[in-house]
Amino acid sequence: MPTCNATLYRRHSCIGSILTFRPEEANVAANAQLPRQRRLRCDCMSTQTRTVFRGSGGELAGKLELPTGTPRAFALFAHCFTCGKDNVAAGRISRALAKQGIAVLRFDFTGLGESDGDFASTSFSSNIEDMVNAADHLRSQYSAPSILIGHSLGGAAVLAAAPLIPEVRAVATIGAPADPAHVLGLLGGALPAVERGEEATVSLGGRPFRVSRQFLDDIASQPQRERISALDAALLVLHSPVDEVVSVDNARTIFDTARHPKSFISLDGADHLLSNRADAEYAANVLAAWSSRYADAPTSMVQIADTADTADGVVRVAESGTGRLTQQISAGSHRLSADEPHPVGDDTGPNPYDLLLAALGACTSMTVRMYADRKQFPLERVVVESRRCRIHADDCAECETATGMVDRIERDITLIGPLDAEQRAALLAIADRCPVHRTLRSEVVIHTVETRTDEDRG
């Protein structure tokens, strides 16, 4: 019997006409260990989506924190030297801003985290280029960033990138050096070898990184003071007076060099990485309040899908305005996303066929559970895995269709608990009584009408 290749067929779309389960694979030990399921993070105030765009050395991986409804503004977050987008402080700050209606894109610089490229081939200039590319991505897909935020060397990067992103109205730095060359102090004993033109491996934050002479030459040539003095945007400088990595004197230099409007906030007692949760949340809340002054609604932003609850039995699907194919699904008070994988979409949610299989699986599991409870069977847990593929009618003995291709859905049901053979057989049989299963197997009529808005009616 032909079986489905889940990897090959999971991205196709439409209704399957054959449903099967494999009872020989359904029985497992009561104490079987089930695989841990991966979940996308989403709360009532913000939604996190993954995004990929071109950088200075290949594709850059980012995370976009979107608020509920239409963003008031978009911000770019530049992480600290070698930290990456998944740094704890970066995540907390991004979520705090999203709760204030500000969408935040944070990403891994070239050669770090999930981004392409070789760190040894990067430089401070390539970081600036990555910032500009990230802004271009937001501009083309959503709206250009009006706020830049940078942590440590990322703070120096946003100060340098601000003049290259014309929409920027506000820049914030956290523990940033006044001169990017400050980072050379982190190279320790490897610095002389790099100065001689050798490529050296240094340990930063417990991880090895290769550094080249190109990095040194580039960082020494940065006109950072001139950039700060010419900054045509509001500036917020956040710095801890006890920062042992980048001393607070750097904050004074940045503040004194910049023009008004400018502000300084002391992160009293915080370490350089804001590793203490309370310190990170304080910085995030201050940033959110300060940024709101510069968070005018983007004029070019595609409207985010309506977030109003739907009536009972009504499911609304609307383009989210965030990404090429991303859809926002509303079912009553519940929200979820649908998308297509890269390179067609942005892979921010399950595709339409995934949702179809999810509906069948959820209905199957619920039906089995209700029957088991009614019969007082010792069923501890139900797990349903489904796959869809297309097979030729010649390979399907139970199909009414004689020619061409047919859709096939394979459903594996795992029943956990001290069930006897008769109970297991009864539960597997009742699975076919699931309402979604019966709908898929019956004749379905879809009636379509166009609904026009008042604006469309003229």
Summarised one tens digit per residue, pLDDT across range 391-415 is 887 777 777 777 788 888 999 999 9
Residue 61 has pLDDT above 80, yes or no: yes
Report how far residue 357's alpha carbon sits from residue 374's, in angstroms, rounded to the nearest whole number. 26
Asked whether residue 338 is assigned to any structural domain, the reply reads no
The pLDDT of residue 244: 84
The answer to whether 26 touches 415, Cβ cutoff 8 Å, is yes
Give the pLDDT band of residue 230 (cuts 50, 70, 90): very high
Residue 11 has pLDDT above 60, yes or no: no
The pLDDT of residue 332: 86
pLDDT digits (tens, 9 = 90+) for 330-348: 888 788 889 888 888 878 7
Say whether both 106 and 253 belong to one domain: yes
Say whether both 34 and 54 belong to one domain: no
Report how far residue 205's alpha carbon sits from residue 166's, in angstroms, rounded to the nearest whole number. 34
Give the chain's mean pLDDT. Answer: 79
Report how far residue 185's alpha carbon sits from residue 165's, in angstroms, rounded to the nearest whole number. 30
Strands (E), 108-256: 147-151, 170-174, 200-204, 207-211, 234-239
Report how far residue 397's alpha carbon sits from residue 376's, in angstroms, rounded to the nearest whole number. 36
Asked whether residue 302 is assigned to any structural domain, the reply reads no
Asked whether residue 405 is assigned to any structural domain, the reply reads yes
Q: Which of the listed ranges 76-85, 108-117, 199-208 does the model predict with the highest average pLDDT?
A: 76-85
The pLDDT of residue 376: 97
Say whether both 31 and 82 belong to one domain: no
Least Cα distance to 75 among 17, 150, 10 occurs for 150
Asked whether residue 248 is assigned to any structural domain, the reply reads yes
**Averaged pLDDT, 421-427:** 97
Say whether both 289 and 372 belong to one domain: no
Say whether both 175 and 248 belong to one domain: yes
Which carries the bigger pLDDT value, residue 377 or residue 330?
Answer: 377
337 DSSP assignment: E
Asked whether residue 340 is assigned to any structural domain, the reply reads no
The CATH number linked to 216 is 3.40.50.1820
The owner of tokens 């009636």 is 447
The pLDDT of residue 421: 96
- What is the count of structural domains for the chain? 2
Say whether both 72 and 22 belong to one domain: no
Judged on CB neighbours under 10 Å (0-12, 13-18, 19+), 133 is middle
The pLDDT of residue 92: 86
292 DSSP assignment: G
Asked whether residue 454 is assigned to any structural domain, the reply reads no
The pLDDT of residue 291: 83
Say whether both 50 and 22 belong to one domain: no
Least Cα distance to 145 among 132, 156, 127 occurs for 132
Give the pLDDT band of residue 135 (cuts 50, 70, 90): very high
Asked whether residue 313 is assigned to any structural domain, the reply reads no
Q: How many CA atoms lie within 13 A of 138 on its CB side?
A: 31
Question: Which residue segment(s) compose the domain that 268 sits in?
Answer: 46-294
- Among the ranges given (211-215, 296-300, 308-312), the one the predictor scored with the smallest mean pLDDT: 296-300
The pLDDT of residue 79: 87
The pLDDT of residue 99: 82
Say whether both 392 and 246 belong to one domain: no
pLDDT digits (tens, 9 = 90+) for 300-321: 444 444 556 788 889 999 887 7
Say whether both 65 and 120 belong to one domain: yes
Least Cα distance to 96 among 57, 35, 46, 61 occurs for 46
The CATH number linked to 434 is 3.30.300.20
The owner of tokens 């030990």 is 29
Asked whether residue 250 is assigned to any structural domain, the reply reads yes
- Evaluate the CA torsion angle 115, 121, 127, 131 in order and state its sign: negative
Say whether both 402 and 266 belong to one domain: no
The answer to whether 358 touches 378, Cβ cutoff 8 Å, is no
Give the pLDDT band of residue 31 (cuts 50, 70, 90): very low
Give the pLDDT band of residue 163 (cuts 50, 70, 90): very high
Say whether both 24 and 78 belong to one domain: no
Residue 327 has pLDDT above 70, yes or no: yes
The pLDDT of residue 188: 66
- β-pairing, 102-107 vs 73-78, is parallel
- Among the ranges given (4-18, 188-202, 426-440), the one the predictor scored with the smallest mean pLDDT: 4-18
pTM of the predicted model as reported, rounded to 2 decimal places: 0.56
Number of H-type helices and E-type strands within the chain: 13, 16
The pLDDT of residue 76: 94
Please list the residues that pair with 95 across neighbouring strands: none
Report how far residue 107's alpha carbon sits from residue 119's, in angstroms, rounded to the nearest whole number. 15
Say whether both 50 and 34 belong to one domain: no
